[in-house]
Amino acid sequence: MSAVVTAVAVAAVATGASVVSQNKSRKAQERASRVQQKIESRSAQRDRMSALRQAQIARATAIQGAVTSGTADSSGLSGQLSGIQATTAGNLAFSQQTETGVGVINNYMRTAGRYQSQAGTYSAIANLALTGAQFARARGSKAPSSGNTSGVTY
């Protein structure tokens, strides 16, 4: 086997190995992204629970203060409780929007990883094709003039 044929064979094997490695890398990145998304989702859930707990504490404190001072039936307490409720609802909505945004970002990152893997695969195939073309051209210029135009020596 000539050195050129050996080089083309090695290039083909290397291209195959590169494609396999890129696919494994892409899959590992996607798994890592899904795990990261689960962690962030659980963290956001924990933040929402904390916000609800803080709202309950603020509500209980406001009611206790109003009862102690004798103003439990006042509009001041009602306004204070409405403010606590509005703040809590706003904080929970923000937390949900943030969690949704993180999910969208993770999806884009997985898609980008997939495209990067495809680009690497296509690049490896192109390099293999170029190597084959150079091999064919080199063989074509050295082909015997026996009427054989295919460049293949029999």
Residues 83-127: pLDDT tens digits?
A: 999 999 998 888 888 888 888 888 888 888 888 888 888 888 888
Kindly report the pTM of this predicted structure.
0.55
Tens of pLDDT, residues 53-83: 998 999 899 989 888 888 888 888 889 899 9
**Mean pLDDT of the 20-34 span:** 81
**Does residue 148 lie within any of the structural domains?**
no
63 domain-assigned? yes
Question: Would you say residue 150 lies in a domain?
Answer: no
pLDDT at 49 over 60: yes
Q: What's the pLDDT score for residue 1?
A: 56
Please state the domain count of the chain: 1
Determine, yes or no, domain membership for 135.
yes
Average predicted confidence (pLDDT) for the chain: 80
114 vs 30: CA distance, rounded Å: 9
pLDDT tier for residue 150 given thresholds of 50, 70 and 90: low
Residue 154 has pLDDT above 50, yes or no: no
Domain housing 34? 3-140
Classify residue 154: in a domain, yes or no: no
Whether 62 is covered by a domain: the verdict is yes
Domain-embedded: residue 131: yes
Residue 147 lies in a domain: no
Separation of alpha carbons 10 and 40, rounded Å: 44
Give the pLDDT of residue 56. Answer: 92
Question: In 10 A of CB 22, how many CB atoms?
Answer: 19
The answer, yes or no, to whether residue 44 has pLDDT greater than 50, is yes
**36-to-23, 27, 32, 42, 107 alpha-carbon distances in Å:** 20, 14, 6, 10, 11
